């Protein structure tokens, strides 16, 4: 896969946020995006806008990827429509914010289902076909959160650590098979990621999704295994985590997350936890 023009690219989580930005940037570079998320109406709106603005084919497949049969239903639908996927962008992701015990276990488990199980299943199903064909590419969206444990985002950071480790291993296994695999590590990006929680991101400390998407695709085109598409200071945090003792890195991250109020953050549909003494 030498470039983006004329390829078919499956982008998960493409109804909004970074996924919409990836789909748009791919279309701008001449690819035909296949957009996946749960919200069919929002997906169709994005697909219509892409067709109109970039003059490329764009398809929408509404699927809950965290459902046990989500990935197999998606693959069956792709097969039914005769779509061969050249590039898989595993972008859909979710996570809780706040003390671990204050979110329901279901929320934590669902994010593992989406961020880990669905991502791995898509790599197995579509990656297997790419290796058999001898061509294709996979971009797994991890995060700067992948590089250290994160108190108050404990299960989310752990899912992203999985994505980092898994992606680096696949990149090496698939090397020479004509299939390139890359992990992307955005930092804070201005999306609706915290919608549904009381947490917010400070606009001055977030990157624009369009810029993150463009820099991710540039890095993939250059053959990177890991991409840091956010501002330089976000990348610098990943180095600190690699040189500091692990407990120190975890405590520093806890302090940072407390400064952002994440120790008091909660899901908006959950009862507010009583203050801890």
Ligand X SMILES: NC(=O)c1ccc[n+]([C@@H]2O[C@H](COP(=O)([O-])OP(=O)(O)OC[C@H]3O[C@@H](n4cnc5c(N)ncnc54)[C@H](OP(=O)(O)O)[C@@H]3O)[C@@H](O)[C@H]2O)c1
Q: Which residues are near ligand X by CB under 6 A? A: 12-19, 37-39, 42, 64-66, 91-94, 114, 141, 143, 186, 188-189, 191-193
76 vs 132 by CB, closer to ligand X: 76
The distance of closest approach from Cβ of residue 186 to ligand X in the complex, given in angstroms and rounded to an integer, is 4
d(CA 120, CA 88): 12
73 vs 135 by CB, closer to ligand X: 73
In the annotation, is 156 catalytic?
yes
d(CA 48, CA 26): 15
* Closest residue to ligand X using C-beta atoms: 93
Task: Please list the residues that pair with 267 across neighbouring strands.
Answer: 197
135 vs 198 by CB, closer to ligand X: 198
The distance of closest approach from Cβ of residue 218 to ligand X in the complex, given in angstroms and rounded to an integer, is 17
From 4, 54, 152, 156, active-site residue: 156
3-state DSSP call for residue 237? helix
Contact 109, 156 (CB under 8 A): no
Contact 136, 1 (CB under 8 A): yes
DSSP string, 113-160: IIIIIIHHHHHHHHHHHHHHHT-EEEEEE--GGGGS--TTSHHHHHHH
User: Tokens representing 39?
Assistant: 């919200």
Contact 111, 60 (CB under 8 A): no
31 vs 117 by CB, closer to ligand X: 117
d(CA 261, CA 265): 6
d(CA 9, CA 59): 10
Determine the distance from the C-alpha atom of residue 145 to the mean position of all C-alpha atoms in its chain, rounded to a whole number.
Answer: 12
The distance of closest approach from Cβ of residue 142 to ligand X in the complex, given in angstroms and rounded to an integer, is 7
The distance of closest approach from Cβ of residue 144 to ligand X in the complex, given in angstroms and rounded to an integer, is 7
Contact 97, 270 (CB under 8 A): no
Determine the distance from the C-alpha atom of residue 173 to the mean position of all C-alpha atoms in its chain, rounded to a whole number.
Answer: 21
86 vs 91 by CB, closer to ligand X: 91
33 vs 93 by CB, closer to ligand X: 93
Contact 147, 242 (CB under 8 A): yes
List active site positions.
156
């Amino acid at each position: 896969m030498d470039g983006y023009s004329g390829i078919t690219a499956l982008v998960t989580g493409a109804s909004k946020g970074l996924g919409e930005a990836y789909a748009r940037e791919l279309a701008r570079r001449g690819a035909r995006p296949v957009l996946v998320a749960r919200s069919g109406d929002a997906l169709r709106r994005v697909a219509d806008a892409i067709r109109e603005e970039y003059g490329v084919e764009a398809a929408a497949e509404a699927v809950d990827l965290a459902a046990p049969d989500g990935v197999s239903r998606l693959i069956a639908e792709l097969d039914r429509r005769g779509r061969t996927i050249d590039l898989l962008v595993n972008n859909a992701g979710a996570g809780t914010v706040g003390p671990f015990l204050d979110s329901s276990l279901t929320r934590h488990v669902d994010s593992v289902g989406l961020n880990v199980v669905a991502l791995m299943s898509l790599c197995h199903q579509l990656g297997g076909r790419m290796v058999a064909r001898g061509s294709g590419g996979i971009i797994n969206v991890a995060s700067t959160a992948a590089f250290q444990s994160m108190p108050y985002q404990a299960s989310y950071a752990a899912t992203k650590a999985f994505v980092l480790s898994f992606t680096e291993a696949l990149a090496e296994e698939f090397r020479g098979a004509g299939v390139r695999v890359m992990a992307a590590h955005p930092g804070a990006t201005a999306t609706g990621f915290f919608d549904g929680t009381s947490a917010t991101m400070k606009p001055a400390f977030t990157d624009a999704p369009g810029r993150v998407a463009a820099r991710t695709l540039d890095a993939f085109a250059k053959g990177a295994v890991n991409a840091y598409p956010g501002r330089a200071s976000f990348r610098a945090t990943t180095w600190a985590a690699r040189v500091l003792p692990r407990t120190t890195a975890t405590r520093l991250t806890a302090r940072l997350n407390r400064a952002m109020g994440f120790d008091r953050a909660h899901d908006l549909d959950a009862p507010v936890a009583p203050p801890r003494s």
